[in-house]
Each structure stands twice: as C-alpha cells, then as structure tokens.
Chains A and B, each alone.
Chain A
Amino acid sequence: MEIKRVKSPGGIEAWLVESHDNPLIAMRFAFRGGAAQDPIGKDGLAYFVSGMMDEGAGDLDSLEFQDRLQSLAMRMDFDASRDVMLGNVQMLTANRDPSFELLRLAMTSPRFDADAVERVRAQIVAGLQFDENDPQEVASLAWDRLAFGNHPYGRAIKGTMDSIEAISAADLKDYVRRVFARDKLLVTVVGDIDAETLGRKLDEVFGALPLNSTLARVSEASPPLGPTREIILMDVPQSVAQFGHRAFSRKDDDFMAAYMLNYIIGGGGFSSRLMEEVREKRGLAYSVHSNLFPYQHGAVFVGNVATKNEAVAQSLDVIESELRRLAEEGPSPDELANAKSYLTGAYALRFESSSSIANQLLWIRIEDLGIDYVDKRNEMIAKVSLDDIKRVAKRLIEADRLITTIVGKPVDAERNAAPG
C-alpha cells in the first residue's frame, strides 16, 4: 500500500491511496474543533451542525439535496466528536464529478433553512429522550461530568434539552464559519482516482473555505482523583457501571505501552483479564471491557460493565482487585507476548476496505503520527519490554482512585458513593 501526499494547486494537502480495483472513491476528512468548540449554553452545536449537512445547500433545498444524494448513490455522513468534526463520503467513479460538486455545495454553502433546522432539532430532542432512559448513556454522561467537570469534555456532545432549544440558525452558521477552514482541514482518500484529479477536486470542494479558523482555546483537562462513586437510580433489571480514571496522552512516550496494557486489562475481548474474571470464570456479565481515550486535551482510561442489580457490587470488587493486581504485579510474560502478537497481527485487518483504510489514515493525521506510521507502528509495539509495561502499569492504573458511575437499582454498591 503506497500512501501519496497530494498537494492541490491551491495548497490543500490530502493523503491518497490509489486503487482501481473497485469503481468507487472513499474520502474522509476532519476539521479540528469538534464539540469542544461549542459555546457555553450551546452544548450540542457541533452535533446539530453534523445533522444539518445533508439538509440543503446552494440552490438545493433539503428535499432536492437528499434526492440528489440518492440519485448519485452517494454516501455523505458527518459526525461531531470531542476534538474534530468528521466527514465520511463515498461515491461511485461513474458519478465522480457531480458527487464532488454536491459535496462542494454542502461544504461551502449549507442553507440551514428554518424548516430543516426545526426538523433536525426535533430529532435531536427525541434522541435525548431515548438516551435519558438508556442506562449506558446515562452512566457515560455522568462519568464525563465527574471526570471533566466544567471543561468542555464534561459537557454532552449531543447537548441538553435546554441547550438544543437555545441554538439558532445563526449559531449553526457561526460554527461553520469558525471551524470549517482550510488551516484545520485534514483529508484522506482511497480508491479510484489519481493524484492530479484529486488535486483539482480538493480545490473545487474546499478551495472556497476561509484560510483560517477562529477557534476558542481549549484548556487541558485534569480529571480529579477518586475514589468517587455516583449511583443514579433507574428502574431496570440490570445495572450499568462505568469506571475509570485519568490516563496519558497520545504524545506521551509511554502511550503505546499503556495502549497494550489496556488490551490486557479489558480491550482484548475474550483475551482480556476483565472478561476472564468477570464473565468467563464467574458468569457475572455478558459485556465487560475497557478503553483508552487519548483526547487532544486530556486522556482517560474508561471501562464498562453491565450486570444484574444484585451482582454490581461483586463485579466492581472483582474489577478493582484485578486492576490493583495488575498495577502491583504487571502483566505476565505470556500476556505481553499475546498482546504483541494480536496487536501486530491484527493491524492488517483494519485495512480491509477503501473506507476503513481512509479512516485509519485520517486518524493518523488527526493524531499527527506521521505518514510513515503505518510502517513503524508494529515495530513500536514489538519493542515494548516486560520492564517497560510493568513500569507503565504502576504509572497508569489507579485502582484506588476510580471514578465510578452506576445506573440501575444496584444492591449494596454504595461504598464511597457521592451524594447524587
């Protein structure tokens, strides 16, 4: 796989993997900014914008725009994450030029017609009402509030009932004006297009965007230390718990070892310790897993478990003691070897389709890892030693400092519970 750096005549850079095996083009792009740029009181603004991007642009109103998308068999999705606004576009080679033209309209002249704004607002509000009753969503949001407080990461990406009501078409336009700019744009493309053509298309699609963004400064988040346990009562047969603590950033020298450690703890499916101890040995849960989230302005280690109300306390005890044991003893040589062989071997599986390749490359760009990262990455994993990972286990894992949120009717899980 050859990754080419393509520079458009107008100066927009994209990474391209040219592949003519299938008559399609997959494009992913991101604007740095994301939901962290939502003004206070306008939580959910970036998310709202992401839902408006196929609701009319240029001369085309919402219905005409969506008819056009369908007749071109084109796929166009936007998604707001904490640090970036993501675009995901797939088109058929046969419809290449009109598809890029439609994308240009969406990027440079979205309409935000009142009718469409109200429709999407109603969809977001309905979604929030469903989420309010989804124990996993409630546990996750409560956890973010405890871990990030007043930092933008502590606010809901999808907003609140009040903040969504407060957002106007002018706010949506303002977000686009501030964030959709060439200095914060990252593009990756895979598929049936050559570098020269792509260069021209990049200028057509993105060339009219302002050169410079106007982003608010985002401070560094510093999640407080637990133990903190918040219980939110909900009348469900199964409780959902989220637990975790601060972690370290993508730029940290120990990041790769921490990533491997997360695989060993709860990231590795049936090979993980939590799955072994909570599900396989004890049958306490169907699902238990962990993740490392290295956001741009603050990283966290977060896990989830769902178990019947009577077994929450026991499940969390098992999880805590496993974390403690791992911090103290570190992984075994076998666990390290298994993590290495999975993580290096399975890397190729992420490059199976044009769209998945474009996605991998986009995140390499977002996290600023370099165009040679795909070639270097497995080597970085291979060279992490047992001493390294034992040291990093002590540094990363804070079993006695967990922030935990529980949603359900948990039995005897109040230990360290915060008022809530």
Chain B
Amino acid sequence: MFDQFAGAFDLRAGLILAGSSLASMAVAVALDSAKAAPRTTEFTLANGLQVLVIPDHRAPVVTQMVWYKVGAADEPPGSSGIAHFLEHLMFKGTEEIPPGQFSKIVAKNGGDDNAFTNHDITAYFQRVAKDRLPMVMAMEADRMANLRLSEEDVVTERNVILEERRSRIDNDPSSILQEQMMAALYTNHPYGIPVIGWEQEIAALDRDDALGFYKRFYAPNNALLVVAGDVEPEEVKRLAEETFGKIAPNPSLNGRVRPHEPKHVAPVRVELEDPRAGRLTVQRYYLAPSYNSATPGEAEALDLLMRIAVKGSTGRLYRRLVVEQKKAASAGGWYSDSNLYEGKLAFYAIGTDKIPAAELEAALDGVIAELRDNGVTQAELDRARSAFLAEFIYTSDSQSRMARHYGWRLATGMSVADIDAWPERLKQVTVEDIGAVARKYLVEKNSVTGVLTPAPARTSRGSEQPAHAVAPDRS
C-alpha cells in the first residue's frame, strides 16, 4: 500500500512534527520482554527547573531539549502567533550571542539545532558531540533569561513568518480546511486558533508583544530540560546547576488556566471548494479527552480504540472503505492525545475517482457507527495492545526520539511514573471499556465534518507530474 496520506494531515495542522501521536505513547516494553526499561533520572533544581536524563552510550553524541510549558493556546487574545513568533526570535541573540549567531555557533561546533511550537508547548533542541554539551547548555540557559531583540530583526522575521504561513496554510487547501475545522471544533478553548496565527494578527505583532510573552512565560520554573545520550545524570546535574541554576524563577507564574469547551449541542459542517484540492476529501473530528484531561482509563481506551479503527492498512477504516467497499483511495486518522486540555479523534477518507461526497461521507459514517454500536473484538484489542508495546522498542533505538517522547509527555501533564506505568494501565483496558468510550465520544453533536471538493479544472498546464524522492544526505 501507499501510506502517503497517513500523517499528512496532523503534520500540516500545527507547526510541529508528529512527535506526539499514538505510537510514541508505547512505553516500557520492559514489562513484556527481557530488556530493561530505559534508565531515566529526574530531578528539580532549586529554581524550579525540571530535569530528565536518559543515558544512551552507544554513540558519543547527546540530544538536549528545553521544553517551555507554554504554547499558542496561552497567547493573549488578538495576538495569535506570538508563541511561534517568539520561538523564531529566540535565535536572534543575547548579550553573549551576537545577532543571528545562535545556530551558526551550534553548526560551527558540529551540531544541529531547531525548535518547534504547538498549542501547549514550545521546544528547542540541539544534537551535538558529547563534549559540546556544556557549551549548548550554557547557550540555552543564556537565552532563557537574556534575549536581546532589535526592532529591525523583529520586522524582518515577521515577514519570514508570513511566508511560512503562506507555505504551510495558504498554498494548501487541505491545511485551510483543517484550520477552519479546528476553529469550529473549539468554540471556546484557544485550540481553535491556529498555532501560526491568523494572518492579520501576525502582521500586527511587534517587539513588545514578543518580549512581553517572553518575560511572562520563559523562566526555569516553567521549563523542562531533557538530556539524552552519552552522558550520566551527575554530570547533567552539575552542568545544569552552573548554567540554568543561576536564573531566578518567575514568582508570578500562575499555571495555565484556560477556558474549557462548553457542552456541544449541534454538529458543525465545513465545506470548502477549491480548484487546488486534487481529490475529494472528507474529514471528521470528535471532541474527546486527552491523557491529561481524561478521567482515569479513558484515554488508554481511546488510544486503543483509535489504533484499531484507523492505524494503517490493517485499521478498520482502511479495510472497509479502501479494500472492501472501494470508495476511498486512502483512509485513516489519529488521536490528539497529548493536549493539555481537550483532545480530539480524527478520521479522514480520500475518495476514489468521481465518488460523490455524500456517498464517501456515508461510508465513513458507517464505520464509525459500527465502532460505536458494536465496539471492538478481543482479538483486535490484543493485537493493538501488543503493537503499541512493540513500538517502544523502535523508539528506544534513537536518543533523539526518546528525548522527544519523554519531553512531550512531561511537558503536557504526565509524570515519569505515569509514563512508565502506561503499559500496565493499557493491560487493564477491556473491550467493554473501549465500547464505552466509543459510545460516549463518537457522538454527532461533538463532531465537525469537513469536506474538501475540487472545483472545475483551472491549470494552465494539464499534466504536471510530481517530483521524485531523493536520497538522504549522502556524503
């Protein structure tokens, strides 16, 4: 099969890589195999900085990640995009680091660096040889407290971000549809506002907005440091105390209190016709709790439900719509399970040539109704559970994926103990539990349906064809 569409949607929706989807929850296979669980060490500095160390001595490299517990959903009304804008501006410099030199210094030292923002978190990372860890740690600590911004840098970067918005959203109708669907799904919670921001609000952001957001949220007591790789906890602790440890906490932090979604009373439809759509696509979102917002056990049941329903070519949705009914060219979905507040269940189907939208939507409805009315089988549950557990072995093969996996969960409300006990909690889930969450959350009034329809042809050239895949960096 070609899994070319799977993941494309959640990848494009935010500004982030798909680091927090289903598979990354599969933790601690230890309980099911002879292999020991990853040895993690957690501690907190006196100023409140939370630190997690994940040793992996196979290669002489380390991954450092700093996670700020702030994202686009924490922005002041009218300033959408400021969390992401600030993420860009964090590369501009400090008293120690000249303007525009941050990434260049990392590169001169043989390292890679970048950052990403979503609704709940903002994360910065470097991958370097282990002897450069003290240097990049000092640099991260420096920009936690000493950011310097010139008016000119801010204006130039704002134009860059407007171009980024054009690339990610405006040039791509399926991203436009998803932006509209999110706005419809979250009527009160700021998840309805795009991470990159609305265009006219981005255009009005300035230096004061950025520095105000920075001073309010960037502080050791609002951050998590994760170091994975060829290093021991004692050394990380010493280095962290010498660098981040010198920064004063922000006493006025008052947690992330945001409005909750009210009870939804009617389903919403979003229909978009666009000549660039390519193919008919039907999407469906349902409001559902995340791990952080769920009552105990519900998120685990939802996780297993969605794996059975939408994962790859063995998922129910693909089997019914693509293989049996031949109404879709591809179909899948995901569970936004790592949100701090309410998450969602997402389904999509891409039509076969010329199928009417109503027929494709009815087919999607049929599969969802089947899940809601009849639940899943014990065999499906057993298979989904072992697949989850196995995936952690693959995740644990990469220090950067481990850093991202633990960091994401810790920054959105879990403890290390929660993460490590997850396989045990998964084992408690029964087919009845899954049936119950399917009945509770796959309900029409909690849903948003999105339909993207190609408008009549308009290209000036009829048969342009796609580009080729390329080899990895190869020298």
Contact = CB atoms under 8 A, between A and B. Distances in A.
Interface string B157-176: 11111111011001111000
Contact of A269 (B103, B330, B393, B468): B103
B263 interface: no
B313 A66 contact: yes
Contact of B465 (A63, A160, A377): A160
B463 A271 contact: no
Interface residues of A, number: 108
A114 interface: no
Contact of B386 (A66, A73, A156): A73
Interface string B300-337: 00000000000011100001001100100110000000
A157 B166 CA distance: 27
B459 A66 contact: no
A271 B102 CA distance: 10
A237 interface: yes
Interface stretch (B181-189, B232-240, B276-284): B276-284
Interface stretch (B107-115, B141-149, B285-293, B356-364): B107-115
Interface stretch (A129-137, A167-175, A318-326, A390-398): A129-137
Contact of B158 (A133, A283, A355, A359): A283
A66 B315 CA distance: 10
B166 A237 contact: yes
Interface string A271-311: 10000100111111111000101100000000000111000
Contact of B59 (A259, A344, A348): A348
B58 A348 contact: no
Contacts of B350: 126
A70 B469 CA distance: 26
B107 A283 contact: no
A134 B458 contact: no
Nearest to B275: A235
Contact of B458 (A22, A235, A282, A348): A235
A22 B396 contact: yes
B469 A345 contact: no
B23 to A, nearest CB: 11
A81 interface: yes
B314 A346 contact: no
Contact of A66 (B100, B160, B314): B314
Given A24-B393, A349-B112, A19 B460 contact: no
A183 interface: no
Contact of A232 (B100, B460, B465): B460
Contacts, number: 270
Contacts of A269: 103, 107, 112
Contact of A346 (B111, B322, B329, B465): B111
Contacts of A366: 471
B2 A51 contact: yes
A363 B383 contact: no
Given A81-B468, A271-B103, A124 B393 contact: no
Interface in A163-222: none
A233 interface: yes
Contacts of A122: 329, 352-353
A124 B2 contact: yes
B471 A363 contact: yes
Contacts of B104: 270-271, 338
Interface string B440-475: 000000000000001000111101111111111111
Contacts of B474: 294, 363, 367
Nearest to B388: A73
B107 A156 contact: no
B110 A63 contact: no
A80 B469 contact: yes
Contacts of B2: 51, 120, 123-124, 127
Contacts of B314: 66-67, 69-70
Nearest to B463: A160
A158 B319 CA distance: 24
Nearest to B174: A130
A80 B159 CA distance: 38
B407 to A, nearest CB: 16
B463 A161 contact: yes
Contact of A235 (B60, B276, B469): B276
B471 A81 contact: yes
B404 to A, nearest CB: 13
A283 B167 contact: no
B459 A132 contact: yes
Interface in A72-105: 73, 75, 79-82, 90, 92, 94
Interface in B118-152: 127-129, 132
A358 to B, nearest CB: 11
Nearest to A305: B163
B33 A94 contact: yes
B464 A232 contact: yes
Contact of A284 (B157, B159, B312, B391): B159
A347 to B, nearest CB: 8
Nearest to A282: B156
Contacts of A4: none
A150 interface: no
Top 9 A-B pairs, shortest CB-CB distance: A345-B110, A140-B467, A131-B466, A283-B159, A73-B390, A156-B465, A238-B166, A157-B468, A126-B329
8 contacts: A23-B35, A122-B353, A123-B4, A132-B464, A138-B466, A279-B160, A306-B163, A353-B401
Interface of B: 1-2, 4, 33-35, 58-61, 91, 100, 103-104, 107-112, 127-129, 132, 155-164, 166-167, 170-173, 275-279, 312-314, 319, 322-323, 326, 329-330, 350, 352-353, 383, 386-387, 390-391, 393-394, 396-401, 454, 458-461, 463-475
